[in-house]
Structure 1
Amino acid sequence: MAAGPEMRASDGDRDKVASVLREHYAQGRLTTEEFDERLEQLYTSKTYGELAVLTSDLPDVDLRLLPEVPSRAPERARAGAGKEAGNKKLSEAWAVWAMASGVNWMIWLIIGLTGDDFPYPWPLWVMGPWGVVLLVSTIAGGQGREKNR
């Protein structure tokens, strides 16, 4: 049965088209920007028709002459485990920050209640810079994971 343009493509099909695009990029037919753009489109493509559009303006490449692309299943498993470990570390860092901030605020409250007047809110100087660093790490980590997809 011949594959029509509306038929769904597999990861293996996308890997073969990626090999073709890499070959054309290596031969100078695609600029870096074009290559990156087509790779982005490639990994969001679902059908053979969408894959064909990516190479329609390029000469045919005999896929049998290209080396076999290894399976990406182990790579995906490692990437997923790395993301989970990164998320866990960030969650742990936020938990430590919250605990330390809470302890500092409790000390400040005890000092304020037992003294004549409430002191300057010095826990802000403990939790502020630390929180900003964690926030930037969280945002940067999320953007890094999106780029890796």
Structure 2
Amino acid sequence: MMAAGPEMRASDGDRDKVASVLREHYAQGRLTVEEFDERLEQLYTSKTYGELATLTSDLPDVDLGRLPEASNRTPERREDRDVRQVQKRGLTAMWATWATASGINWAVWLILGVTGGFDFPYPWPLWVMGPWGAVLLVTTFFAGLGDKRNR
């Protein structure tokens, strides 16, 4: 069997191996999303080992003869993690606002009840916190489902 020279044609399996290496370098932060996407475009139009080698020539520890088998698992992009973190912070802030507003409403209700001679009025804070809490609950539930679907 001959050694693979730079002018020899690459197979789909070879391209998949290089794609997994590029994904790994992207996941480790060596490539920006733009560089990663650009290299993937070039990767799938590459025909020879030489063209594949140029895609990884500026990255450490890349030996086309000893690449790991291509993985079916796509590493999580940093942008995806960042978006999820922002969504999580947003949901936390919404729940904190709901809890604060509910607490204030219940405090007002309690003060009205105590100053009214313990003749507590109708529990109107339920109408403030109930629908708002239900909307937040549904939002939180569907944000969690979307998170699991994207993994």
TM range (shorter): 0.5 to 0.7
TM-score (norm 1): 0.52
The equivalences for 1:57-68 within 5 A come to 66-67=44-45
TM-score (norm 2): 0.52
Task: Note the C-alpha offset of 1:109.
Answer: 0.1
Percent identity over paired residues: 49
Per-residue CA distance 1:4-59 (angstroms, 9 max, x = gap)? xxxxxxxx64967xxxxxxxxxxxxxxxxxxxxxxxxxxxxxxxxxxxxxxxxxxx
More helix, by proportion: 1
| RMSD across aligned positions (CA) | 2.8
Partner of 1:115: 116
Partner of 1:9: none
Partner of 2:148: 146
For structure 1, the residue ranges without an aligned partner over 5 or more in a row are 1-11, 17-64
Partner of 2:84: 83
Give the letter aligned to residue 83 of structure 1: R
Task: Note the C-alpha offset of 1:67.
Answer: 3.2
User: C-alpha separation between the residues in 1 aligned to 2:83 and 2:18?
Assistant: 24
Give the letter aligned to residue 80 of structure 1: R
Per-residue CA distance 1:65-98 (angstroms, 9 max, x = gap)? 9436x9x77x700000000000000000000000
Alpha-carbon spacing, 1:132–1:13, altered in 2? closer, same or farther (3 Å): farther
Runs of at least 4 residues off by over 6 Å? none
